[in-house]
Structure formats: structure tokens, C-alpha cells
């Protein structure tokens, strides 16, 4: 089956992303994961910002 450009554009418009946020309490006291939480908000089209976690650990002069 061959899709033309308008079929692809229509499919993209119909896609809806479900956004779930795990409560911070679920990450407390994780064994072997002593890292502090760091977050950044990422804009995802016309939806609400998505909060993403990142790890920023190690020596300041390290790679």
C-alpha cells in the first residue's frame, strides 16, 4: 500500500500523545542510585511542557 504526503500529514494530526508523570516519591531511596534529581522542561509541540530528568554528577573538571 502506498501512502502519499497528505495521508502522512493527516496521520500526524490525528496522533495524540499521552503524558504520564511518575510521582517524585517513587524515586526516593532507590538502592544504588544516590543521584540528586535534576529536571528540564521540554516543549513538545502545542502540548504542555514535558519534564525530563537528567543526571549531572561527577567531578566538575571531568569529561
Three cell numbers, residue 20:
504520564
Please name the residue that has the C-alpha cell 516543549.
43
What are the sequence ranges of the domains in the chain?
19-63
pLDDT at 16: 67
> Could you tell me which residues come within 8 angstroms of residue 51 by beta carbon, excluding any fewer than 6 positions away?
21, 39, 40, 41, 42
pLDDT at 19: 80
Please name the residue that has the C-alpha cell 544504588.
32
- Give me the tens of pLDDT residue by residue for the chain, a chain 63 residues long: 555 555 555 555 556 677 888 898 998 899 999 888 899 999 877 777 889 999 988 888 887
pLDDT at 48: 79
Amino acid at each position: 500500500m502506498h501512502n502519499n504526503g497528505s495521508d502522512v500529514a493527516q496521520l500526524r494530526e490525528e496522533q495524540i500523545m499521552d503524558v504520564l508523570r511518575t510521582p517524585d516519591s517513587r524515586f526516593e531511596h532507590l538502592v544504588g542510585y544516590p543521584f540528586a534529581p535534576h529536571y528540564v522542561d521540554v516543549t513538545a509541540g502545542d502540548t504542555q511542557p514535558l519534564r525530563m530528568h537528567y543526571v549531572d554528577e561527577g567531578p566538575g573538571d571531568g569529561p
